[in-house]
Structure 1
Protein backbone atom coordinates (compact mmCIF):
# COMPACT_ATOMS: atom_id res chain seq x y z
CA UNK A 1 0.00 0.00 0.00
CA UNK A 2 1.31 3.40 -0.98
CA UNK A 3 -0.02 6.89 -0.44
CA UNK A 4 0.15 8.68 -3.81
CA UNK A 5 -0.45 12.43 -3.94
CA UNK A 6 -1.94 14.62 -6.62
CA UNK A 7 -1.63 18.42 -6.65
CA UNK A 8 -2.91 20.96 -9.16
CA UNK A 9 -2.64 24.69 -9.69
CA UNK A 10 -4.80 26.27 -12.37
CA UNK A 11 -2.25 28.83 -13.60
CA UNK A 12 1.47 28.56 -14.15
CA UNK A 13 1.98 31.66 -11.96
CA UNK A 14 0.56 29.92 -8.89
CA UNK A 15 2.71 27.86 -6.58
CA UNK A 16 1.77 24.32 -5.51
CA UNK A 17 4.13 24.27 -2.52
CA UNK A 18 1.37 24.45 0.11
CA UNK A 19 -0.27 21.39 -1.44
CA UNK A 20 3.04 19.55 -1.81
CA UNK A 21 3.94 20.15 1.85
CA UNK A 22 0.53 18.92 3.02
CA UNK A 23 0.75 15.81 0.83
CA UNK A 24 4.24 15.01 2.12
CA UNK A 25 2.99 15.44 5.70
CA UNK A 26 0.15 13.04 4.85
CA UNK A 27 2.75 10.43 3.90
CA UNK A 28 2.69 10.65 0.11
CA UNK A 29 5.46 8.49 -1.33
CA UNK A 30 5.09 10.10 -4.76
CA UNK A 31 3.30 13.26 -5.87
CA UNK A 32 2.01 14.08 -9.35
CA UNK A 33 1.51 17.81 -10.02
CA UNK A 34 -0.35 19.59 -12.84
CA UNK A 35 0.62 23.23 -13.42
CA UNK A 36 -1.62 25.61 -15.36
CA UNK A 37 -4.45 23.12 -15.84
CA UNK A 38 -8.06 23.91 -14.94
CA UNK A 39 -9.96 21.56 -12.67
CA UNK A 40 -12.84 21.64 -15.16
CA UNK A 41 -10.76 19.62 -17.65
CA UNK A 42 -11.44 15.90 -17.44
CA UNK A 43 -8.07 14.95 -18.88
CA UNK A 44 -4.98 16.37 -17.21
CA UNK A 45 -1.51 14.99 -18.00
CA UNK A 46 -0.27 14.41 -14.46
CA UNK A 47 -3.65 13.24 -13.14
CA UNK A 48 -3.83 10.72 -15.98
CA UNK A 49 -0.27 9.55 -15.17
CA UNK A 50 -1.19 9.33 -11.48
CA UNK A 51 -4.28 7.21 -12.18
CA UNK A 52 -2.18 4.88 -14.38
CA UNK A 53 0.42 4.60 -11.59
CA UNK A 54 -2.06 3.64 -8.85
CA UNK A 55 -2.31 -0.03 -7.85
CA UNK A 56 -4.77 -1.96 -5.71
CA UNK A 57 -4.36 -1.00 -2.06
CA UNK A 58 -2.91 2.46 -2.83
CA UNK A 59 -4.58 5.62 -1.57
CA UNK A 60 -4.89 8.65 -3.84
CA UNK A 61 -4.49 11.71 -1.63
CA UNK A 62 -5.27 15.32 -2.53
CA UNK A 63 -4.93 18.52 -0.53
CA UNK A 64 -8.54 19.58 -1.21
CA UNK A 65 -11.36 17.90 -3.09
CA UNK A 66 -11.51 20.69 -5.70
CA UNK A 67 -7.95 19.82 -6.76
CA UNK A 68 -9.31 16.57 -8.15
CA UNK A 69 -12.01 18.32 -10.17
CA UNK A 70 -14.70 20.99 -10.18
CA UNK A 71 -17.46 18.91 -11.72
CA UNK A 72 -19.31 16.72 -9.21
CA UNK A 73 -20.13 14.04 -11.77
CA UNK A 74 -16.50 13.77 -12.92
CA UNK A 75 -15.12 13.63 -9.37
CA UNK A 76 -17.59 10.95 -8.33
CA UNK A 77 -16.98 8.91 -11.50
CA UNK A 78 -13.24 9.07 -10.87
CA UNK A 79 -13.65 7.97 -7.25
CA UNK A 80 -15.99 5.14 -8.32
CA UNK A 81 -13.36 4.01 -10.83
CA UNK A 82 -10.71 4.05 -8.09
CA UNK A 83 -12.97 2.14 -5.70
CA UNK A 84 -13.65 -0.54 -8.34
CA UNK A 85 -9.88 -0.97 -8.72
CA UNK A 86 -9.44 -1.33 -4.95
CA UNK A 87 -7.82 2.11 -4.58
CA UNK A 88 -8.72 4.39 -1.69
CA UNK A 89 -9.18 8.16 -1.75
CA UNK A 90 -8.41 10.81 0.84
CA UNK A 91 -8.76 14.60 0.92
CA UNK A 92 -6.46 16.08 3.56
CA UNK A 93 -8.12 19.46 4.19
CA UNK A 94 -11.70 18.23 4.40
CA UNK A 95 -10.77 15.00 6.16
CA UNK A 96 -12.71 12.98 3.59
CA UNK A 97 -11.93 9.39 2.71
CA UNK A 98 -13.61 6.46 1.01
CA UNK A 99 -13.36 4.15 4.03
CA UNK A 100 -16.90 2.99 4.70
CA UNK A 101 -20.32 4.21 3.61
CA UNK A 102 -20.26 7.41 5.71
CA UNK A 103 -17.01 8.51 4.06
CA UNK A 104 -18.50 7.94 0.61
CA UNK A 105 -21.69 9.83 1.51
CA UNK A 106 -19.72 12.82 2.85
CA UNK A 107 -17.54 12.77 -0.26
CA UNK A 108 -20.64 13.00 -2.47
CA UNK A 109 -22.01 15.92 -0.46
CA UNK A 110 -18.67 17.80 -0.47
CA UNK A 111 -18.27 17.28 -4.23
CA UNK A 112 -21.72 18.80 -4.76
CA UNK A 113 -20.81 21.79 -2.59
CA UNK A 114 -17.53 22.27 -4.49
CA UNK A 115 -19.44 22.43 -7.76
CA UNK A 116 -22.01 24.79 -6.24
CA UNK A 117 -19.21 27.10 -5.12
CA UNK A 118 -17.69 27.12 -8.61
CA UNK A 119 -21.05 27.69 -10.32
CA UNK A 120 -21.85 30.54 -7.91
CA UNK A 121 -18.47 32.17 -8.57
CA UNK A 122 -19.02 32.01 -12.35
CA UNK A 123 -22.53 33.46 -11.94
CA UNK A 124 -21.22 36.37 -9.83
CA UNK A 125 -18.44 37.08 -12.33
CA UNK A 126 -20.91 37.17 -15.24
CA UNK A 127 -23.27 39.43 -13.28
CA UNK A 128 -20.38 41.77 -12.48
CA UNK A 129 -19.39 41.96 -16.15
CA UNK A 130 -22.98 42.72 -17.18
CA UNK A 131 -23.22 45.45 -14.50
CA UNK A 132 -19.91 46.96 -15.59
CA UNK A 133 -21.01 46.97 -19.24
CA UNK A 134 -24.29 48.66 -18.24
CA UNK A 135 -22.18 51.40 -16.59
CA UNK A 136 -20.13 51.85 -19.76
CA UNK A 137 -17.06 49.97 -18.58
CA UNK A 138 -15.42 47.29 -20.65
CA UNK A 139 -13.26 44.46 -19.37
CA UNK A 140 -9.83 43.65 -20.66
CA UNK A 141 -6.55 45.42 -20.92
CA UNK A 142 -6.59 49.22 -21.23
CA UNK A 143 -5.77 50.65 -24.65
CA UNK A 144 -2.18 51.75 -25.11
CA UNK A 145 -3.05 54.19 -27.90
CA UNK A 146 -5.76 56.86 -27.59
CA UNK A 147 -8.04 57.83 -30.48
CA UNK A 148 -5.98 60.98 -31.08
CA UNK A 149 -2.77 58.91 -31.14
CA UNK A 150 -4.37 56.56 -33.68
CA UNK A 151 -5.22 59.53 -35.92
CA UNK A 152 -1.69 60.85 -35.46
CA UNK A 153 -0.26 57.43 -36.41
CA UNK A 154 -2.28 57.42 -39.65
CA UNK A 155 -1.13 60.95 -40.48
CA UNK A 156 2.52 60.03 -39.83
CA UNK A 157 2.16 56.92 -41.99
CA UNK A 158 0.70 59.05 -44.84
CA UNK A 159 3.82 61.22 -44.60
CA UNK A 160 5.93 58.10 -45.21
CA UNK A 161 7.19 57.47 -41.70
CA UNK A 162 7.77 53.78 -40.95
CA UNK A 163 5.74 51.84 -38.40
CA UNK A 164 8.76 51.20 -36.11
CA UNK A 165 9.47 54.97 -36.04
CA UNK A 166 5.81 55.75 -35.31
CA UNK A 167 5.89 53.18 -32.49
CA UNK A 168 8.88 54.94 -30.92
CA UNK A 169 7.15 58.33 -31.22
CA UNK A 170 3.95 57.03 -29.58
CA UNK A 171 5.80 54.85 -27.03
CA UNK A 172 4.06 51.64 -28.05
CA UNK A 173 4.93 48.44 -29.89
CA UNK A 174 5.18 48.13 -33.64
CA UNK A 175 2.32 45.56 -33.53
CA UNK A 176 0.11 48.14 -31.82
CA UNK A 177 0.85 50.65 -34.57
CA UNK A 178 -0.01 48.11 -37.28
CA UNK A 179 -3.24 47.25 -35.45
CA UNK A 180 -4.34 50.91 -35.46
CA UNK A 181 -3.23 51.48 -39.05
CA UNK A 182 -5.34 48.55 -40.30
Structure 2
Protein backbone atom coordinates (compact mmCIF):
# COMPACT_ATOMS: atom_id res chain seq x y z
CA UNK A 1 0.00 0.00 0.00
CA UNK A 2 1.27 3.48 -0.85
CA UNK A 3 1.84 6.17 1.78
CA UNK A 4 2.32 9.93 1.54
CA UNK A 5 4.27 11.48 4.42
CA UNK A 6 3.21 14.89 5.69
CA UNK A 7 5.74 16.84 7.77
CA UNK A 8 5.08 20.27 9.25
CA UNK A 9 6.82 22.73 11.55
CA UNK A 10 5.48 26.11 12.60
CA UNK A 11 8.45 28.37 11.80
CA UNK A 12 11.58 28.41 9.69
CA UNK A 13 13.59 28.05 12.91
CA UNK A 14 12.11 24.57 13.38
CA UNK A 15 12.94 21.50 11.32
CA UNK A 16 9.92 20.16 9.45
CA UNK A 17 12.00 17.17 8.30
CA UNK A 18 12.80 16.13 11.89
CA UNK A 19 10.20 13.34 11.85
CA UNK A 20 11.03 12.01 8.38
CA UNK A 21 13.18 9.09 9.59
CA UNK A 22 10.58 8.17 12.21
CA UNK A 23 7.80 8.04 9.62
CA UNK A 24 9.96 6.16 7.12
CA UNK A 25 10.71 3.56 9.81
CA UNK A 26 6.99 3.33 10.64
CA UNK A 27 6.16 2.85 6.96
CA UNK A 28 8.79 0.12 6.61
CA UNK A 29 7.42 -1.68 9.68
CA UNK A 30 3.91 -1.63 8.19
CA UNK A 31 5.14 -2.64 4.72
CA UNK A 32 4.08 0.67 3.21
CA UNK A 33 5.68 2.11 0.09
CA UNK A 34 6.53 5.79 0.57
CA UNK A 35 5.58 7.48 -2.71
CA UNK A 36 5.68 11.10 -1.56
CA UNK A 37 7.18 13.29 1.16
CA UNK A 38 5.58 16.68 1.73
CA UNK A 39 7.37 19.02 4.13
CA UNK A 40 6.63 22.65 4.96
CA UNK A 41 7.16 25.33 7.58
CA UNK A 42 3.76 26.86 8.16
CA UNK A 43 1.25 27.32 10.95
CA UNK A 44 -1.08 24.41 11.65
CA UNK A 45 -3.87 26.95 12.10
CA UNK A 46 -3.98 27.45 8.32
CA UNK A 47 -6.25 25.16 6.32
CA UNK A 48 -4.72 26.00 2.95
CA UNK A 49 -1.07 24.93 2.99
CA UNK A 50 0.87 24.46 -0.28
CA UNK A 51 2.43 21.07 0.53
CA UNK A 52 -0.67 19.66 2.18
CA UNK A 53 -2.75 20.71 -0.81
CA UNK A 54 -0.19 19.12 -3.15
CA UNK A 55 -0.40 15.88 -1.18
CA UNK A 56 -4.19 15.85 -1.36
CA UNK A 57 -4.05 16.51 -5.09
CA UNK A 58 -1.51 13.77 -5.78
CA UNK A 59 -2.76 11.00 -3.48
CA UNK A 60 -5.03 8.34 -4.93
CA UNK A 61 -8.04 6.61 -3.31
CA UNK A 62 -7.00 3.89 -0.89
CA UNK A 63 -3.59 5.40 -0.22
CA UNK A 64 -2.39 6.57 3.20
CA UNK A 65 -1.77 10.06 4.53
CA UNK A 66 0.81 9.49 7.27
CA UNK A 67 1.67 12.07 9.97
CA UNK A 68 3.73 11.92 13.13
CA UNK A 69 1.00 13.37 15.37
CA UNK A 70 -2.36 15.09 15.05
CA UNK A 71 -0.95 18.53 15.89
CA UNK A 72 1.43 18.27 12.91
CA UNK A 73 -1.64 17.94 10.70
CA UNK A 74 -4.00 20.29 12.47
CA UNK A 75 -4.27 23.15 14.91
CA UNK A 76 -7.33 24.21 12.94
CA UNK A 77 -10.61 25.70 14.08
CA UNK A 78 -13.40 23.15 14.43
CA UNK A 79 -14.97 24.24 11.13
CA UNK A 80 -11.66 23.99 9.25
CA UNK A 81 -10.88 20.62 10.83
CA UNK A 82 -14.23 19.30 9.62
CA UNK A 83 -13.42 20.63 6.15
CA UNK A 84 -10.02 18.92 6.12
CA UNK A 85 -11.49 15.62 7.34
CA UNK A 86 -14.17 15.78 4.67
CA UNK A 87 -11.52 16.44 2.01
CA UNK A 88 -9.41 13.48 3.16
CA UNK A 89 -12.48 11.23 3.23
CA UNK A 90 -13.69 12.54 -0.12
CA UNK A 91 -10.34 11.63 -1.67
CA UNK A 92 -10.71 8.12 -0.26
CA UNK A 93 -7.51 8.40 1.78
CA UNK A 94 -6.69 6.57 4.98
CA UNK A 95 -5.39 8.90 7.71
CA UNK A 96 -2.74 7.26 9.88
CA UNK A 97 -1.09 9.02 12.81
CA UNK A 98 2.14 7.41 14.02
CA UNK A 99 1.60 8.22 17.70
CA UNK A 100 -2.11 7.29 17.67
CA UNK A 101 -2.28 3.47 17.76
CA UNK A 102 -6.01 3.31 16.98
CA UNK A 103 -5.29 4.84 13.58
CA UNK A 104 -2.84 2.08 12.67
CA UNK A 105 -5.71 -0.27 11.86
CA UNK A 106 -6.45 1.96 8.86
CA UNK A 107 -3.48 0.25 7.20
CA UNK A 108 -5.40 -3.00 7.09
CA UNK A 109 -8.70 -4.03 5.57
CA UNK A 110 -11.50 -3.74 8.11
CA UNK A 111 -14.05 -6.27 9.30
CA UNK A 112 -16.67 -5.71 12.00
CA UNK A 113 -14.00 -5.14 14.67
CA UNK A 114 -12.24 -2.70 12.35
CA UNK A 115 -15.45 -0.73 11.84
CA UNK A 116 -15.91 -0.37 15.60
CA UNK A 117 -12.28 0.71 15.99
CA UNK A 118 -12.75 3.21 13.18
CA UNK A 119 -15.51 4.92 15.18
CA UNK A 120 -13.29 5.02 18.28
CA UNK A 121 -10.37 6.30 16.21
CA UNK A 122 -12.50 9.11 14.73
CA UNK A 123 -13.48 10.21 18.23
CA UNK A 124 -9.85 10.24 19.37
CA UNK A 125 -8.77 12.18 16.29
CA UNK A 126 -11.39 14.85 17.00
CA UNK A 127 -10.33 15.02 20.65
CA UNK A 128 -6.64 15.37 19.83
CA UNK A 129 -7.33 17.96 17.12
CA UNK A 130 -9.32 19.99 19.66
CA UNK A 131 -6.51 19.71 22.21
CA UNK A 132 -3.97 20.84 19.60
CA UNK A 133 -6.08 23.89 18.75
CA UNK A 134 -6.61 24.81 22.41
CA UNK A 135 -2.89 24.44 23.10
CA UNK A 136 -2.14 26.94 20.33
CA UNK A 137 -4.74 29.39 21.61
CA UNK A 138 -3.43 29.11 25.18
CA UNK A 139 0.13 29.69 24.03
CA UNK A 140 -0.77 32.93 22.27
CA UNK A 141 -2.92 33.99 25.21
CA UNK A 142 -0.10 33.38 27.72
CA UNK A 143 2.38 35.47 25.75
CA UNK A 144 -0.09 38.30 25.23
CA UNK A 145 -1.16 38.30 28.89
CA UNK A 146 2.43 38.12 30.11
CA UNK A 147 3.40 41.17 28.10
CA UNK A 148 0.26 43.02 29.18
CA UNK A 149 0.92 42.20 32.85
CA UNK A 150 4.43 43.59 32.63
CA UNK A 151 3.06 46.73 31.06
CA UNK A 152 0.37 47.06 33.76
CA UNK A 153 2.85 46.51 36.60
CA UNK A 154 5.30 49.02 35.20
CA UNK A 155 4.00 51.54 32.66
CA UNK A 156 7.59 52.45 31.83
CA UNK A 157 8.58 48.84 31.21
CA UNK A 158 10.44 48.11 28.01
CA UNK A 159 11.74 44.77 26.75
CA UNK A 160 15.07 43.99 28.39
CA UNK A 161 17.93 45.82 26.73
CA UNK A 162 15.64 47.61 24.28
CA UNK A 163 15.08 51.33 24.46
CA UNK A 164 12.08 50.94 22.22
CA UNK A 165 8.37 51.61 22.40
CA UNK A 166 7.15 48.86 24.76
CA UNK A 167 3.61 48.76 23.40
CA UNK A 168 4.84 48.40 19.83
CA UNK A 169 7.17 45.59 20.88
CA UNK A 170 4.31 43.81 22.63
CA UNK A 171 2.06 44.17 19.60
CA UNK A 172 4.72 42.94 17.18
CA UNK A 173 5.69 39.96 19.37
CA UNK A 174 2.04 38.97 19.82
CA UNK A 175 1.44 39.26 16.07
CA UNK A 176 4.55 37.19 15.27
CA UNK A 177 3.40 34.48 17.67
CA UNK A 178 -0.19 34.41 16.41
CA UNK A 179 0.78 34.61 12.73
CA UNK A 180 4.16 32.84 12.46
CA UNK A 181 4.05 32.59 8.67
CA UNK A 182 3.41 36.27 7.99
CA UNK A 183 6.22 38.11 6.24
CA UNK A 184 7.56 41.51 7.35
CA UNK A 185 5.26 43.47 5.02
CA UNK A 186 2.17 41.69 6.30
CA UNK A 187 3.20 42.12 9.94
CA UNK A 188 3.89 45.82 9.39
CA UNK A 189 0.41 46.34 7.93
CA UNK A 190 -1.22 44.36 10.73
CA UNK A 191 0.57 46.18 13.56
CA UNK A 192 0.66 49.58 11.87
CA UNK A 193 4.39 50.29 11.72
CA UNK A 194 7.15 50.41 9.16
CA UNK A 195 8.68 47.30 7.59
CA UNK A 196 12.11 48.39 8.82
CA UNK A 197 10.77 48.33 12.38
CA UNK A 198 9.63 44.72 11.95
CA UNK A 199 13.06 43.69 10.66
CA UNK A 200 14.77 45.52 13.52
CA UNK A 201 12.60 43.88 16.18
CA UNK A 202 13.10 40.43 14.62
CA UNK A 203 16.85 40.98 14.48
CA UNK A 204 17.07 42.15 18.08
CA UNK A 205 14.85 39.33 19.35
CA UNK A 206 17.30 36.84 17.86
CA UNK A 207 20.28 38.63 19.41
Normalised by the length of structure 2, the TM-score is 0.62
Structure 1 residues 89 and 72: alpha-carbon distance in aligned structure 2, compared to 1, 3 A threshold: farther
1:93 correspondence with 2:109: no
Q: Within 5 A, what are the aligned runs for 1:1-182?
A: 1-27=1-27, 29=34, 30-35=36-41, 37-73=42-78, 74-97=80-103, 99=106, 100-134=118-152, 135=154, 136-139=156-159, 142-143=162-163
Q: How many residues align?
A: 145
Displacement of 1:31 in angstroms is: 1.1
Superimposed CA distance per residue, residues 138-158 of structure 1 (whole angstroms, 9 cap, x where no aligned partner): 3498249xxxxxxxxxxxxxx
* Deviation larger for 74-83 or 45-54: 74-83
Distance 1:84 1:94 in 2: 22
Structure 1 residues 96 and 8: alpha-carbon distance in aligned structure 2, compared to 1, 3 A threshold: farther
Displacement of 1:62 in angstroms is: 0.8
Which of the pair has more CA radius of gyration?
1
8 A Cα contact 1:76 1:108, kept in partner: no
Normalised by the length of structure 1, the TM-score is 0.70
Distance 2:124 2:48 in 1: 25
Greater fraction of residues in helix: 2
Superimposed CA distance per residue, residues 30-62 of structure 1 (whole angstroms, 9 cap, x where no aligned partner): 210012x11112211111111111110011011
8 A Cα contact 2:23 2:66, kept in partner: yes
Distance 1:117 1:110 in 2: 10
8 A Cα contact 2:56 2:91, kept in partner: no
Unaligned 5+ residue runs, structure 2?
28-32, 107-117, 165-195, 198-207
Distance 2:147 2:11 in 1: 22
Distance 1:141 1:71 in 2: 36
8 A Cα contact 1:5 1:61, kept in partner: yes
